Structure 1
């Protein structure tokens, strides 16, 4: 029997309909006296639910460990994200989807990502299609992922650009959710589908497979003004 493939999601939570596929969950919130941990609450934004849905559409048998770091304002911090990553490492996940980004580099976030990578966990983080990069996408050995309007649901692109390594479909089924966040989740879903079929695949093999099977190579070419 194959071991259970656990997928980590650092986001705003999950929907009630997704509860049966969430095998572990934890909420990380900032308080006046520091960081608090508690049980998951309902997804206040719908963002995490959209991310889980995007992964699930490409890997229907995936199960999730969900770390809730966003409040109802859509605000989070490096401390929350880093603690969430550490918790997911302890849950023995194979991949962590981070459809989020911070403008400032923070040592504790860098260290949390490095520790996860050292354990063989693949990190997929969203990166904007234009403008300055964000963290954790800019850290070494983190896959930088954005959205690509060329891609249909089962396609992805190998960009190999200053902005991102890969990109995937920007559209999902949740109203108001699109862009790099869903592109990142979509690519995570493609990877999870591969790992379900090939659980022994290394991170290097995953990257080679993504490059070989990409529908598009290079960034979108916009013609005209």
Structure 2
């Protein structure tokens, strides 16, 4: 009898093996507006977040409980450069840690004129895996052990087309701040989350998808929203968390919530990176995360991976 954690790891490995073949490609440059001029500020227990914000001409946007640490997302309202403001905030006696709300993109957010999300499956536009890919990752052999029944895969992405007939459980939208994680059409990355979810179900047909929209329709997000997404997944029954994004450096807040999810027995998978350096990027470089590189149709590591 296989333990549940073994089965979820098996399912996640199969899922990512297929995503490596079918989805990942070079990522575009980060959009300047997402997370721009924003700080993640820890306010100590005796401090008042709104008083801190007022002292430094910041606007409080959101709050996240980081295992007892009070973390606030704040926007710079002054004309000063964000790095200068961050230095000032760090010296505030009511403040603990401070870091930038780093921006990132979902893989394949190149849209029209590039390798569009409609073609990530090799051209059929449905987001489902072709039989060749299924055979190459030996999914039929794995199905004798598990088809994903009882496994909930949280897909942190651009949302999902809720009319596509996929096997889903309730999720959340951290872009529009509501309980409707629907994909928004018309953007460079529209349909990406739906395609990824479809690929997952091609490999693990009895798994359930938890759609978490943390990227906008053009494929952009930032660290605070992604930490919130991971936190949501871990408290709402996710067995596996799929993270098709990477950062150029470690982000403390995201790292913390990855650790909490892993400690609850959740399997986390992430793209190794798309810069061709041969080195895993954050969060894939974390020891708690399965780091996934990309291969081409000959099972050779892709140049960009």
Whether TM exceeds 0.5 here: the answer is yes
The equivalent of 1:11 in structure 2 is 157
Structure 1 counterpart of 2:235, from 90, 109, 114: 90
Gap change, CA 1:114 and 1:134, over 3 Å in 2: same
Q: Give distance in 2, aligned partners of 1:114 and 1:76.
A: 20
After TM superposition, give the deviation of residue 75 of structure 1 in Å. 0.8
1:109 matched to 2:273: no
After TM superposition, give the deviation of residue 116 of structure 1 in Å. 0.5
After TM superposition, give the deviation of residue 17 of structure 1 in Å. 4.1
Q: Give distance in 2, aligned partners of 1:150 and 1:41.
A: 32
Gap change, CA 1:221 and 1:105, over 3 Å in 2: closer
Deviations 1:170-222 (A, max 9, x none): xxxxxxxxxxxxxxxxxxxxxxxxxxxxxxxxxxxxxxxxxxxxxx7xx6499
How many positions carry a matched residue from both structures? 150
After TM superposition, give the deviation of residue 38 of structure 1 in Å. 4.2
After TM superposition, give the deviation of residue 57 of structure 1 in Å. 0.7
The equivalent of 2:169 in structure 1 is 23
After TM superposition, the structure 1 = structure 2 runs for residues 128-139 of structure 1, keeping only pairs within 5 Å, are 128=273, 130-131=276-277, 133-139=280-286
The equivalent of 2:86 in structure 1 is none
The equivalent of 2:215 in structure 1 is 70
Structure 1 counterpart of 2:180, from 31, 34, 39: 39
Gap change, CA 1:37 and 1:138, over 3 Å in 2: farther
After TM superposition, the structure 1 = structure 2 runs for residues 150-189 of structure 1, keeping only pairs within 5 Å, are 150=297
- Paired residue secondary structure (1:16): coil
Deviations 1:1-53 (A, max 9, x none): x98321111001112344551111100028xxxxx444223344111111111
Give the number of the structure whose alpha-carbon radius of gyration is greater: 2
Is the Cα contact below 8 Å between 1:12 and 1:69 reproduced in 2? yes
Structure 2 counterpart of 1:60, from 201, 205, 219: 205
TM-score (structure 1 length as normaliser): 0.59
**Unpaired segments ≥5 residues, structure 2:** 1-147
Q: Give distance in 2, aligned partners of 1:107 and 1:70.
A: 20
Q: Give distance in 2, aligned partners of 1:82 and 1:71.
A: 16
